[in-house]
Amino acid sequence: MDKAVTDSQWTNGTLGQQADAKEQLMIRAKSGEPMKNFSLSNGNYSHINLVNRASKTGYQLHNADCYHSDFNHAHCFKLDFSGSSLMKADFSHANLHCANLTGCNLLGTNFQGAKLEHVIWGKTAVQEQQANKAEKLEDKIDLYQQAEEVYRNLRLVSEKQGLFEIAGNFFQREMVMRRKQMPLLSINRIISKIVDMFCGYGEQPIRVVAFTWSVLISFTLLFFLSGLSYQGQEIGYNGQASLAQNIDELLSCGYFSIVTFTTLGYGDITPTGFSRVLASVEALFGSFTLALFVVVFVKKMTR
């Protein structure tokens, strides 16, 4: 049987559920040519070996329909599943090390016990991409719910295997999907968005650091414009002073901003007038941000 006829039978689904489908698929894969749009739904491919041992790159199984197929204990090292539907497929205890699952439908896919180190997951789930393009609100919510389920499943599987960094990324996406199901201007959605901005739901300590520096710089400039007091002398912007003098005053305001943010309060520089309000607000920001950073940092380090 020539290759064109064989591929045609794979794409129209006449081979996918036959008794010898697993052996035929392994033979087809060994040709090394891409396998596109193959229909493998409801097929039994347990323990199949699709490892391309003769090459540094894996076999290509693009845009395949693997709905409800059985791939338990399958050997899929570096297999490229790009764009395939793996919905409700069983990959329990399969070797998916370095596999490419970019653009795959992973709703209901069973990865229990599978080897998932260095899997290429892609940036976002297919359902999230579809939800962002959907026009009707009910369609968006339904797709966001599906995306949340996908991320939750991947998070739980990753946590069980000790892949905590990946699990953290999936948790963050899961929480984003949950937020997008809430009413647009609801309090819960606004609070959720703020938490995401500040710390990525506890998964992005660098955001806390970035927020800290933004607060310090912003209040330094505000203190520089509103003025402070040091031993009876005013510190702040002076249009008649030289550039060097203004820079020295700005640095003093930066020093005051840091000690206020950290609530050290040495007392050498004191706020006056409107600067008192600014100092109070920054102190509140500082107490909240430092506590948040400790929580996020400890969460990341104790995994």
Listed in order, the ranges of the chain carrying CATH 2.160.20.80 are 3-198
pLDDT higher than threshold 70 for residue 3: no
**Residue 292 to residue 221: CA distance in whole angstroms:** 24
Listed in order, the ranges of the chain carrying CATH 1.10.287.70 are 205-301
Encoded tokens for 152: 């939750």
Q: What is the pLDDT of residue 2?
A: 45
* Helices and strands (H and E) in the chain: how many: 9, 5
Q: What are 100's strand-pairing partners?
A: 80, 120
pLDDT in tens, 237-284: 888 889 999 999 999 999 999 999 998 878 889 998 899 999 999 999
CB 125 within 8 Å of CB 106: yes
- Which CATH number does 205-301 carry? 1.10.287.70
Q: Kindly state the helix (H) or strand (E) to which residue 194 belongs, with its residue range.
A: helix 187-199
CB 201 within 8 Å of CB 171: yes
Average pLDDT for 175-198:
94
**Residue 1 to residue 121: CA distance in whole angstroms:** 36
Q: What is the pLDDT of residue 303?
A: 64
Q: Considering the domain delimited by 3-198, tell me its CATH architecture.
A: 3 Solenoid (2.160)
pLDDT in tens, 103-162: 999 999 999 999 999 999 999 999 999 999 999 999 999 999 999 999 999 999 999 999
Q: What is the pLDDT of residue 1?
A: 42
Average pLDDT, the chain: 92
Q: What is the pLDDT of residue 92?
A: 97
**Residue 58 to residue 79: CA distance in whole angstroms:** 5
pLDDT higher than threshold 60 for residue 213: yes
Task: Say how many C-beta atoms besides its own lie within 10 A of residue 47's C-beta.
Answer: 14
Sign of the alpha-carbon torsion through 122, 124, 125, 130: negative
Residue of higher predicted confidence among 66 and 298: 66
Average pLDDT for 177-201:
94
In whole angstroms, what separates CA 157 from the centre of its chain? 15
% of the chain with per-residue pLDDT over 70: 97
